[in-house]
Amino acid sequence: MKRLTWFVFSFVMIACTGASANSVTYTVTSASLGISPNDGTGDNVGFTIQGPGMNLVGVGGTDYFSFGTSPTGFAPGSIGSGGMAFSPDYLLQGNLGAYGTADIEMNGLNGSILGGAFTFPSNGANYFTVTVPAYLSGITGMIVAGQGPSFFTEPFALSGIEGQETLSYYYSPFFNVYYPAQATFSASATSTTPEPDTLVLMGTGLCAILASLRRKHRA
């Protein structure tokens, strides 16, 4: 019994320490992205991501073959997908808690949009628009703040959020293929998850309870 008590106590102590060492996770409650075809020359995504203590507005990019940018286009009747890699390159304005735009680094960090599959029309419609369920996730970054002895860095992550993606394509009768025109992702949610500070407090409380039980058992 004594060994079991010490094992549980040690496990909770490790959990308490790990909770404070992890990156801060900010809960996303709404997100919107405007996406244009990426021709390989640079940024093609504008984004707004919001949540408790968070408001990020900036630009980013998708990889060259995201959003159907294959030079061959898509044949009528073929299968397409809303999935794409997304890199939030830099902020135009924003804050994470007490930290402002100058403290938030996102350059080169990759997220993803997981979008559903769809089928292109087989009759060669001039313009084709489809809406599929999608999920925005995997966005991380770093807080870099302070100067001299007060300088520090702190990793952060943004929670994923479910939404929908609308993709539009135009048809080229000459090449008999569809080419991307534009896409949007939108999502909103009201649910929240425990903040890291809350998890630390919960862990500290469990540690105290277990310590009290151990003292009573010894008495």
Element (H, E) at 212: helix 196-218
pLDDT confidence of residue 113: 86
Per-residue tens of pLDDT for the chain, all 219 residues: 444 333 333 433 433 333 334 689 999 999 999 999 887 777 899 999 999 999 999 999 887 767 766 667 889 999 988 888 888 888 999 999 999 999 999 865 567 888 889 999 998 778 999 999 999 998 989 999 988 898 989 999 999 999 999 999 999 999 999 999 999 999 998 544 444 443 343 343 334 434 443 444 444
**Is 101 part of any domain?**
yes
Instruction: Say how many domains are in the chain.
Output: 1
**Is 22 part of any domain?**
no
**Is 33 part of any domain?**
yes
Return d(Cα 178, Cα 172) in angstroms, integer: 6
**Is 214 part of any domain?**
no
**Is 205 part of any domain?**
no
pLDDT confidence of residue 69: 61
- Sheet with 24-26, strands from edge to edge, namely 24-26, 152-158, 139-145, 104-105
pLDDT confidence of residue 48: 96
**Is 211 part of any domain?**
no
Return d(Cα 69, Cα 67) in angstroms, integer: 6
pLDDT confidence of residue 183: 92
pLDDT confidence of residue 70: 63
User: How far does Cα 149 stand from its chain's mean position?
Assistant: 32
**Is 86 part of any domain?**
yes
pLDDT confidence of residue 71: 67
**Is 17 part of any domain?**
no
pLDDT confidence of residue 182: 92
Domain of residue 52, residue span: 28-192
pLDDT confidence of residue 178: 92
pLDDT confidence of residue 159: 92
pLDDT confidence of residue 64: 72
pLDDT confidence of residue 125: 79
Which candidate, 80, 104, 94, places its Cα nearest to that of 179?
80
